Amino acid sequence: MINEKSEQIYKEAVEYIPGGVNSPVRAFKSVGLSPIFVDHAHGSKIYDVDGNEYIDYICSWGPLMLGHSPKELSEGIEEVIKKGTSYGVPTQIEVDMAKIIVEAYPAIDQVRMVNSGTEATMSALRVARGYTGRNKILKFEGCYHGHSDSLLVQSGSGTITYGVPTSPGVPDDVVKHTLVCKYNDLDAVREIFKEEGNEIAAVIVETISGNMGLVKGKQEFIELLREVCTEYGAVLIFDEVITGFRLSYNSSPAYFGVNPDMVCFGKIIGAGLPVGAYGGKKEIMSVVSPIGPVYQAGTLSGNPLAMYMGKKNLEILRDNPQIYTELERKAKKLEDGINTNLEKLDLDYTVTRAGSLVCLFFAKGPIENYDDAKKCDIEKFNKYFAQLLKRGILIGPSQYEAMFLSNAHTDEDIEKTIAANYEALKVAHNL
Ligand SMILES: *Cc1c(COP(=O)(O)O)cnc(C)c1O
């Protein structure tokens, strides 16, 4: 694999951009490599500036349900650009987009567009706090909800754990209202609510977490969250920035049969353009400015280009349910193939899958929370990652990321990936 040009750009990049990248995981630092720089991408493939081709399982970290640069989405975008790229006054397409999201998600009546997942969760929490008049929030270890201050926490010591900042620059004072529990820990949730339930404004959760590898919320866990939130009058927020419109068109409520009070979207609803959204029941959303007192705004929110792409993406997904069936089938094929490889190589590792999200943990299962995920053999994973890359397979450069499939991935791609997975595992373990 030649990567001269990537190396050259990277050298320049680190001069002008911290770490050479605009989002940390792109630096390939956790796998001890330098990043590839992309020239273009099409369908299931990414092509770097050195001309290397990769089957891509990052898919921009989830948004690209139809693969890279699908014609169906870009068609007509020139016309949109010619009409203007942002107005600062409202447009019809924002209404259309809100309607599509609300119709797909019976738990919510209204939705507000923002520009990223981070903005969506940050705003949803503010609204939940404004609505309940309470300060405390509960999050779960290993779930990622963007990089806003009050969510950059890990659990401290003690049974009822208050968050401690995971990043310098986040004052203790800011996270003192953030409670942290182990994911899938029903007893901890019951205990925290018994002690502090009347002060908790919101519980924010990834129903299926794609940010500690891929760890599924247990059915009983998600149901318990619904129960305690109802009992104590806390707002249940599903962070569906990864899972929304990816698990299925009706997302987590269809998967678990549980409705949240609020929901956050991102990634998929923008189809690769910068978009996020948060929504909820009318009663809750009525506290949002300009009808209510809770302030939240955005100069570029509901941007016409983003709305155009996002709306088309959602319409295609809505009108072609076979996309989800096919994604499920292909992801299952990949899951089965990796499991067969693990058996052949006698490796006691764990594959998790939910819809089109797949993850290979370099650890024995079951993987139910962040502590379990942390047991992975990172050194072996890093070797495996490099071996895959060499064989033209691009996965997230970290053990704690899922593989994302798109509808552009073919059976041939999956078969090549399974074969490369076997070889890469073999080399990484000197077998
Ligand atoms: C990616 C992600 C976010 C943050 O979204 P950004 O658009 O990167 O700000 C929030 N929550 C979850 C579950 C995510 O996966």
- Whole domain around residue 148: which residue ranges? 73-319
What are the tens digits of pLDDT across the range 176-226? Answer: 999 999 999 999 999 999 999 999 999 999 999 999 999 999 999 999 999
If one compares 263 and 156, the residue with the highest pLDDT of the two is 263
* Least-confidence region, from 80-89, 168-177, 240-249, 392-401: 168-177
Residue 164 pLDDT exceeds 90: no
Specify whether 82 is located in the same domain as 190: yes
Whether residues 62 and 181 share a domain: the answer is no
- Ligand 1 site residues (CB inside 6 A) read 116-118, 121, 144-146, 206, 210-211, 239, 241-242, 266, 276
Q: How many domains does the chain have?
A: 2
Predicted confidence band at 243 (pLDDT cuts at 50, 70, 90)? Answer: very high
Spatial strand order of the sheet with 200-205 comes to: 110-114, 276-280, 262-265, 235-239, 200-205, 136-140, 178-181
Percent of the chain at pLDDT > 90 equals: 96
pLDDT of residue 301: 98
Please indicate, yes or no, whether residues 47 and 121 belong to a single structural domain of this protein. Answer: no
The number of beta carbons lying within 10 Å of the beta carbon of residue 109 is 15
User: Are 309 and 219 found together in one domain?
Assistant: yes
Dump pLDDT digits (tens) for 325-368: 999 999 999 999 999 999 999 999 999 999 999 999 999 999 99
The residue from 286, 319, 352 where one domain ends is 319
- Quick one: average pLDDT of 56-75? 96
Verify that 46 and 65 share a domain, yes or no: yes
Say whether both 111 and 227 belong to one domain: yes
Residues 200 and 246 in one domain: yes
Q: Mean pLDDT of all residues in the chain?
A: 96
- Identify the residue whose C-alpha is closest to ligand 1 atom 8: 117
| Catalytic-role residue among 57, 131, 144, 349 | 144
Confirm if 418 and 337 have CB atoms less than 8 A apart. yes
Query: How many A from CA of 345 to the centre of ligand 1?
Result: 35
Residues 98-144: pLDDT tens digits? 999 999 999 999 999 999 999 999 999 999 999 999 999 999 999 99
**Which pLDDT band holds residue 163 (cuts at 50, 70, 90)?**
confident
Annotation marks residue 267 as catalytic: yes
**Spatial distance between the Cα atoms of 285 and 231, rounded to a whole number of angstroms:** 21
Q: Are residues 177 and 313 in the same domain?
A: yes
Among the three residues 319, 342, 365, which one is the final residue of a domain in this structure? 319
Same domain, 291 and 339: no
**So what's the pLDDT on residue 401?**
96
pTM for the full model?
Answer: 0.97
CATH number at residue 19: 3.90.1150.10
Whether 71 shows a pLDDT value over 60: the answer reads yes
**295 and 348 both lie in a single domain:** no
**Residue 192 host element (H or E):** helix 186-196
In whole angstroms, what is the distance from residue 306 CA to residue 298 CA? Answer: 14
How far apart are alpha carbons 347 and 339 in whole angstroms?
Answer: 9
Atom of ligand 1 nearest to the CA of 274: 7
Q: Where a domain ends, among 298, 319, 340?
A: 319
Cα–Cα distance between 137 and 149 in angstroms, integer?
13
Task: Give the DSSP H or E segment for 322.
Answer: helix 322-344
CATH of residue 273: 3.40.640.10
Do 332 and 390 have their domain in common?
Answer: yes
What does the pLDDT read at residue 181? 94
Query: What is the arithmetic mean of pLDDT over 18-41?
Result: 95
Domain shared by 89 and 65, yes or no: no
